[in-house]
Structure 1
């Protein structure tokens, strides 16, 4: 059976400006453990620098009640508020041959639309579609937005 890349997508409307939200996910990714402690236990820099294209980070997170790890290479398009997290190693690759999280921020008159796309190739036909991972991203997005709303305008951490 030939595998194919499948997609799941979702839009989340947030109050935060795109620049502020992008800054947290690109340059301050490690702060997600403080913002979403129920989901993210730690994010460590493995190679490169925070906020730099091609850096490699390691996520320690909880998914479906299980502690998981993902080593990811980050691609950034700062001008267009886009990021891609390419999974290199970790628990996700038990069920999937490849897995990518794509995030695109679409500035609105009020707030921002966060567009998440999960691209994945199943290892086996019965591997699950990652609906719970998409919900994880949606919930994390809302938690970051709530965190930013509680901050003074001059800071994001």
Structure 2
């Protein structure tokens, strides 16, 4: 049997927007991310289910390391009370490098704004597969953009 192991990379992003506001965009208004962060996210579309529901399937077209990539994700879990979400990648470019890939999101309210915590949980196809630090950077960048957008107050 092939050796495989779940690995993680993680980052925290401080934003001025509230945890509820940020979580609401990622949960219920995911398609707006393409408008907020058009430099890297070209489109976010729903394939199955409805925005903001567990089991719904979303596809992302995004730029990563200068290439146009696609990720189809299933919303695996939503915890409104704790502003948490889990996205499981079910199709797309990432699965060319990883056996499994998940994005875990938690937004924690702070006195001023909130902290967005991203955990990328993955299983490499082989030992030559790089850790997804550039993708983590992209999620950090996206979080900062969404945070800046939300704190400019256009609801």
TM normalised by structure 2 equals: 0.96
1:62 match: secondary structure: strand
How far 1:47 moved relative to its partner?
0.4
Q: Give the root-mean-square deviation of aligned CA atoms.
A: 0.8
Q: Which sections of structure 1, spanning at least 5 residues, go unmatched?
A: none
Matched, 1:73 2:78: no
Runs (4 or more) in structure 1 with deviation over 3 Å come to none
Alignment correspondent of 2:108: 106
Alignment correspondent of 1:30: 31
Residues 26-105 of structure 1 aligned to structure 2 (within 5 Å) = 26-74=27-75, 75-105=77-107
The number of residues matched between the two structures is: 153
Alignment correspondent of 1:145: 147
Matches of 1:48 and 1:23 in 2, distance apart? 17
How far 1:150 moved relative to its partner?
1.4
1:110 match: secondary structure: coil
1:132 match: secondary structure: helix
How far 1:149 moved relative to its partner?
1.4
Alignment correspondent of 1:3: 4
TM normalised by structure 1 equals: 0.95
2:136 match: secondary structure: helix
**CA displacement 1:17-52 (0-9 Å, x = unmatched):** 101111111100000000000111001100000111
Matches of 2:21 and 2:139 in 1, distance apart? 17
